[in-house]
Structures are given as structure tokens and as C-alpha cells.
Amino acid sequence: MISDTMAHREYKVVGTRPIRHDGVDKVTGRALFGADTNLPGMLYGKVLRSPHAHARIISIDVSRAEAHPDVRAVATAADLPPAKPVSQEPVLGQTPSENIMARQKVLYKGHPIAAIAAASPHVAEEALSLIEVEYEPLPAVTNVEDAMGPSAPILHEHWTGTGDGRPGGTNVSVHQPYSSGDLEEGFRAADLVMEREFRTKTVHQGYIEPQSATAWWAPDGRLTVWCSSQGHFGIRDNTARLLGVPVSSIKVVPMEIGGGFGGKLPVYLEPIAAVLSRRSGYPVKITMDRTEVLEATGPTSGSYVRVKMGVTREGRITAAHAYFAFEAGAFPGAPLAGASAAVFAPYNIENVGIDGYDVVDNKPKTTAYRAPGAPIVAFAVESLVDEIAERLRMDPMELRLLNAAHQGTRRADGVLNGRIGAQETMEAVRSHEHYSAPLEGKYRGRGVGMGFCRNNSGMACAVANVLSDGTVSLIEGSPDIGGTRTSLAQQLAEVLGVPIGDVVPQVADTDTIGYTSATGGSGVTFKSGWAAFEAANDVKRQLVQRAARVWDVPEEEVEYGDGVLQHSADTELRLTFKEIAAMLPDTGGPVVGRANLNPGGSSGSYSANIVDVEVDPETGKVSILRYTAFQDAGTAIHPSYVEGQIQGGTSQGVGWALSEEYFMSDDGRMLNTSFLDYRMPTSLDLPMIEPVIVEVPNPGHPYGVRGVGEANIVPPLAALANAVYDAVGVRMTHLPMTPVSIVKALKVE
């Protein structure tokens, strides 16, 4: 449903629910994903991975593998250009060379050591046993608090900076502080000051399609890569950097993608497949299995968070401080910035402080996961806000509304808010029937929580080709994960006044369309949609010129509206879009609209949850009875897709809150490396999630778009913890809230 808070706008195509253009391909199996690539003479690659979480590599002997008659190529880190030591300061969007192939040390179980290409995947896998590696095992550390301890094994011995203030070696990559106002004065002005600690475990994005890459390094020196990714231009650039070749020598062809959620932004297999192809002379395909995905691709961070807040007896927040330490995995790059943006974002707090720490440990390098960093810190803040409301005997939403952020207030990370929807989202929660509905029964509880994602933008291109039958071919560069082909086509169709069925959108390879940044940060409908909007306006300008030429009148006398060109004074001079399209050969040739831009103004999205649960005090099982999820979409271009994003993100948040975690052994091995043991929620674990779209149009976009893909995962962690407390009276400060952990907490009480 769409909340009554929406700002109504009259559009013909924007805001409608057309069938997605790629729907038939997806449901009939015609759509091709990464592993569907099959080329003449193609070989199959397999990767040898470290059995240790932390060890020095004494030697690697590949001679027996190379001598095998069915092995066509073997690759190690020696086949990649020499790499500089890993920087202590993470470089955004750049995968370290050592994460592709280990050099002196392995830093997590599953770390790639070598790779083999053979005519059969079975031969390649069996031949891995012929590679002999001598290791010197080292102590491993697999949680953030131990990694920051004085006796922790140091992963990168050359790091000399002291991000945690200690002399000597450190596992702290970066300390990222923010401050505004006067914290001490703010806490002195409070009538109530509360501080709590929270901990979360490592969780994975859980996409269904594993990583797969096919590379063909042709004799002319040109490399073509077929893969499923969230950004094929990023794959091209990173692969070129890691191989030491110009970007112009690589073409990346985007395949359909079976889920990503941030986890398919980095390169993993592409450089390895490329090296094997170069050495063998044939195309090489490598596809991960589920164990490899979980052990060797980026999950999000485990964490330790401490939040302190001060409030007056009336409920006004006077000061707030957050300390959070995030696991980065083996290489730096934890989502500190996203966490800092989100931690207090729903609220207007004059005196704030943040201390964020990026900490390496012996797990796979973390990468983005849907609103990176935000769910972790929101879990802490929203749990504490709920506890404060109880202490003050205030309604939890009234407390939030009293402190709501709005236009002109400043976020804790220093960003000045433009037009935002925090207050409108809170009001939608408070006024919703679910919030005041009776909830009867023992051990039943209701919880609420707010969420935020800052959203991103980036470079984007679009090309609109007008065809002679009056249809439009829209070429764009954003991989489609959640229906963005259609949301872009809707914006183009709205400008041109043509039916959405007359637009044919396509995602092009890196040689066919201009540079387009990744499908991430909830940015595609914003940035590439804007590019489609501008390309459509370019088409309009050219069609006005053509009509003026046909009628022999000045261009300023030609008007364009609802897909019709007409003279401003002579109403008999009129041409429809299809009519002018048919005349293009006689009026100057093809009409091609284009746009290339890097727009700002993406603006953040606010979200919220109401959830009812029932807790079995004997087993600790949490059953979800009812769920309502809210999100400000700015303007919902395709409401069905927005609702699907809200439901999908909420489902992942439920898994994060209740069941998902990496079980780690003392020696650093992940023990639950399949979907049988890594427990994501299924349809049996979830009720119908009712999505509520709030619309507070973003003035920084032609149609008021805000990103919708990420903020929805943020509230469930705290909302469920607050509901569990309401049901059984125990505050859960560790995630996941498994049955075992709830029973244990009840016994402590």
C-alpha cells in the first residue's frame, strides 16, 4: 500500500505497475546467467584454497600438476604483476591483489593459493591435489574484540600506524571519528544518561547464484570477460589493474545476476580465469560452489558497538556517542562511513560523537551488504531508544517524533539534511492500524525500529534510439538486479509520452555504452533513471527540430506533449510520435538521444518496522505473528518493485536478527558452510510482510526519486529485539537471537 503521507503527482507512466521487460526471459529460462556461458574449446578452472585461517606460505610446487596430461594451465600469484604491500588505509572499490591469490601469507580459510584449468571440471578439481604447498601455521583471530587485544596475532606485520593508539603492530586499519557540538555539556544537561553494549556476528548476503566468470584472452591481446556482477565497469577496471593491462584491452559482458546485495561488487574469479586463459590459449570458466562462496567471498562485518545517550525528563535527546569496531576480514575496508551516516540519522541531536574502528581478522574480506554498516548501528541505537522510552514512560514513537530529524538539521557524520522523510515515516508508523491494534496472549510482544540508508549516485549513461516503427531502444549500463530496466524505461516513456511497452531496455557491455557506476547504493533508478530522462529530452529536442523542418516553421513554434508534436497556433499541424518516427529517413536520418552525467542529490531514505512476535520461553523460538514495513521512496516509480524491495530487505533483516551467523572454530574455520547449516529464513519462518510506501519527493531528482533497495534491511534487527523484550522482558544485546541465546538470557533473568 501507499501511505496517505504521499505527495500526489499526476504522471502517465511513472507510478504505474507495468510487467517487467525481462520477465518472460526470467520465467522461461531464456535469460543467461554467469555460469550459462559456454564457448568453443572452453576449459574449466578450479581454485586451490588454503586449509588454514592464518599461515605463512613456505613454498608452492606446481610441477606435478603441470605435468598432468589433462591439465592445460596452472596459475599462482607469480602470474600476477608484483603488488605493493597491503595499504593500511583501504582504497574504496579496489580489491587487493593478495585477495585474488595469496603471496607470503594466507589470511583466512579459503584464501586462493593456485588455480588449474582442464577440459573437465572434475579433472581440474582432482588435479588440485597435485599442487604441494608447505605452510607454517600461525595463530588465528576471528572476532573484532580479540583482534584489538594486546596479544592478538598481527595479520599485516608492516602496518606501523596506531589506529588504536597502541605502539607497535596493530590490526586496526583506521580510526574514523566524527564530532559536533559539546558532548560533555550535552550529557550534563541530561536528566537520564544510559549506555549499553551490543554485539553482532558475521553474516553473508546469501545470494542464490554463486560467483562465476568466463575469460577469453584472444591471440590479439584482447580479453573478454563474461560474468554476473553488480558493476561490469568496476570488474573491468579492477581486472585491468590486477593484471597490469590497460582498461581498453578488456571488454566485460554483463550476464543476468541471481542476487548480489553488495556481495557481487568485487572481483574474485575474473583475474584468475584471465590468467588461465592467457596461459592455455583457450577460454576458461570458473564457478564457485556454495562452500567457496561462504568461505571466500565478502560477508559483512561482525561487530562490537557501545552507545551512550542522554535525554531530558521530557524526552529531548541532549547528547549521543557511538563507539563501534567492525571486522574488515583479512583486508581493510569495513563499512564505517555508512554506519556513521546512519547511526543517529533519524534524530536531531545537537551534541554527538562517533568513534569507528576498521579492524582486520582471519575471515574473508568483508564487502558491502545492503545499507553497509547501518543495520548494525541501528540495532544498538534503536534498542537503546526503546529502553529510554520505557524508563521515561513515553510512547516509543512519540519519543522518536519529538527528536525527529528534518530539513536543515545535521547528521552525525556532518552532512546537512535536505528534504528528508524521517518525520513522515515516523508519523506513518504512529498512525498505522497495526501500531494500536490489540495484541493479546502471554509471551507476545510488539516492537518498533527506525532505519536509514544514505544512498549513493555515480556516473551513468543512456542512449535512446528511435526506431522507424515508433518504438525506442534504450541502452544503459546498470546491471538489473531488481527490475531497473523497467524503472528506467518508465522515466524515458514519461518524458516522451509513449507507452511503456514501446520502450525496449537493454544492459550493454563495457564497449557499447559509456562508463556507468555499479548497481549499488540504491542508485540505479536515481542516476541511470536521470540519464534516461535526459536522453529522452534529447530525443524530444531533435524531434521538435524535425517537425519544424517538415512544417517549415521556427522550432520555438513547435510544442511537444504526450507523445504528440503540434504547432502552437495551427492545430492542423500535428504529428504523433509514431508518425514522425516513420519520417526520419526523409528528415535528416536517425534520431539518437544520449546522456552522460554524474548527478548529485541522491538523498537518504528512512524506513521503519512494526513487528509482533510470540516467544516460546521453553525453547526460545521466536515466531513472527505480524509484520509491517515502511519506507520513504521519494516517488515510487514502480510501486510493485518498491514493495518487493521492502519485503526482500525486511526478510534479510529477519535472518540477521534471528538465525544467521558464521560459526567459527578456534582455529578459524567456518563450520556452517552450506545453506543447510547457514540458516536463512524461508517462507515457513516469515509472515506476509505488509509494505507501506511513504512518498516525500526528493527535490534533487526530476521525478523525486530516492533509493529504495537498502534502508529496508536496517530496522528489523532492533524492531525484533524490542518485540522480544516486550514479550518476555529480556533485552537481547547480542545477535542473532537464536533459541539457545534467548533461553540462556531468560535463565540469567
DSSP string, 625-676: EEEEEEEE-SS-SSHHHHHHHHHHHHHHHHHHHHT----B-TTS-BS--STT
Burial class (CB in 10 A: 0-12, 13-18, 19+), 259: middle
Residue 214, CA distances (Å) to 96, 117, 223, 418, 664 in order: 21, 12, 10, 44, 32
Residue 453, CA distances (Å) to 381, 412, 450, 522, 551 in order: 15, 13, 11, 9, 51
Strand order across the beta sheet in which 303-311 lies: 172-180, 351-360, 317-329, 303-311, 192-200
Q: Which grid coordinates are listed for 50?
A: 588454503
Residue 676, CA distances (Å) to 208, 322, 673, 679, 681 in order: 13, 36, 8, 7, 11
Rounded to an integer, what distance in angstroms lies between the CA atom of residue 354 and that of residue 176? 8
Torsion sign across C-alpha atoms 580, 584, 587, 588? positive
Rounded to an integer, what distance in angstroms lies between the CA atom of residue 531 and that of residue 39? 34
Three-state SS string over 195-236 comes to EEEEEECCCCCCCCCCCEEEEEECCCCCEEEEECCCCHHHHH
Closest C-alpha to 466, from 518, 503, 424, 509: 503
Cα-Cα-Cα-Cα dihedral of 532, 535, 539, 542, to 10°?
170
Rounded to an integer, what distance in angstroms lies between the CA atom of residue 156 and that of residue 89? 12
User: What's the length of the chain?
Assistant: 749
Q: Which grid coordinates are listed for 342?
A: 546512519
Q: Are 200 and 300 in contact (CB under 8 A)?
A: no
Cα-Cα-Cα-Cα dihedral of 738, 740, 745, 747, to 10°?
160
Catalytic (active-site) positions: 710
Three-state SS string over 664-678 comes to ECCCCCECCCCCCCC
- Partners of 250 in beta bridges: 223
Rounded to an integer, what distance in angstroms lies between the CA atom of residue 466 and that of residue 472? 5
DSSP string, 390-455: HHHT--HHHHHHHTB--TT-B-TTSPBP-S--HHHHHHHHHHSHHHHS---STTEEEEEEEEEE--
Burial class (CB in 10 A: 0-12, 13-18, 19+), 433: exposed
Q: Are 721 and 731 in contact (CB under 8 A)?
A: yes
Q: Are 224 and 345 in contact (CB under 8 A)?
A: no
Closest C-alpha to 580, from 590, 571, 569, 570: 590
Q: Are 330 and 363 in contact (CB under 8 A)?
A: yes
In single-letter form, the type of residue at position 77 comes to: A
Closest C-alpha to 320, from 293, 279, 361, 351: 351
Q: Around Cβ 314, how many Cβ atoms within 10 Å?
A: 10
Burial class (CB in 10 A: 0-12, 13-18, 19+), 686: middle
In single-letter form, the type of residue at position 49 comes to: R
Q: Are 496 and 563 in contact (CB under 8 A)?
A: yes
Rounded to an integer, what distance in angstroms lies between the CA atom of residue 514 and that of residue 525? 17
Torsion sign across C-alpha atoms 395, 688, 205, 646? negative
